[in-house]
Structure 1
Amino acid sequence: MTMSKKSFKMKFLRFLTLMIIPFALLSCNKDKNNPGYDYMGVRDMYYTKYYKAYSPNPIFRDSLTNQLPVTGAVARGYMPFPYPGATITDRVVNQTLAGVQLVNPLTGDTGTIAEGKRLYTIFCVDCHGDQGKGDGYLYTSGLFPAKPRSLVETFITSKPDGELYYVITMGSISGLMGPHGSQIAPEKRWKIINYIRSLSN
């Protein structure tokens, strides 16, 4: 009796396998643009149907796939900033101009300074050190050969907030400090500046 049950199961599995094979073969499609049926319901995300850049598109009224960007869109890699720095001369002039024209919109209250300290710890401490003296880990470990500028010396403390904002955004004129405009939001830059000011007080 047990033998016949086993043989029945084996025959049934063979029959099932033989039935599945034709369905599997029939589900194959020669059309390379058609991924076929998806029985799991999730793989359509991998086979998205898209329109090529210059092909007609029934979704838009003008039937063009390529559309003009919306008003106010910013191109990738471009940061709107009214003080460009293509050359060293431009950077010197525009850093000074930013110092005159840009005014810190944030007050130096304890909340702003505390947030500035948190941001300083994330973005600045590795180079400039805990107290802003230019003795961060990258310099003291020998990974960075040139000592970063001390943020508590007169050269920095005498500069207006707008110049510091410019340096954080575009980098230093010497090129030793790279631009951080793409990493730090404008309001956060001002908070960091407020914290830097508190270090020298």
Structure 2
Amino acid sequence: MEAGSSARTLAACVVGGIVLGASVLALHLSGPVSIPSLPPVDALRRRFRRRRRRPVRVYMDGCFDMMHYGHCNALRQARALGDELIVGVISDEEIKANKGPPVTPMHERMIMVGAVKWVDDIIPDAPYAITEDFMNKLFNEYNIDYIIHGDDPCLLPDGTDAYALAKKAGRYKQIKRTEGVSTTDIVGTNSALVFPFL
């Protein structure tokens, strides 16, 4: 048994030596070989950062009047669809033109929205409807990937969908609206408290 094992080991060494010798001879005959040098560590870091995926930026707008749980839940759901959530706070004038006067002024609504942990940035004076100009600004200046809104219809006074252009562009995502809570309902039910002059 030992003699057979020794013969196999010897044969393996001889064959390995022949292969190694042939490889060295081939390298010698092919001329000098240059071994590529590695780029500096800083260059490797920059290359790695470039390959890293760009964060997905999502946009959601709203009045956020009399901030409540439904608003926070919408912002939470929107943020879950991307890596960064940019929120457009609709101007007082736009709210008046489309829904009636807001209870809370825009600067206070911006403070409340900015305090929500899922919000990364705010765009003040956002339009009520996603126009082509504003949509292009979102995509090109703010690098927005998707526009988010709840599954409740958002209609303009003329009956058209405020998000029609975003849907047509294929850059629209929908979240579930929180049932049972709405600023419009709160203001409507308590209008005597909120607007005693009405």
TM-score (normalised: structure 1): 0.19
More strand by share: 2
TM-score (normalised: structure 2): 0.19
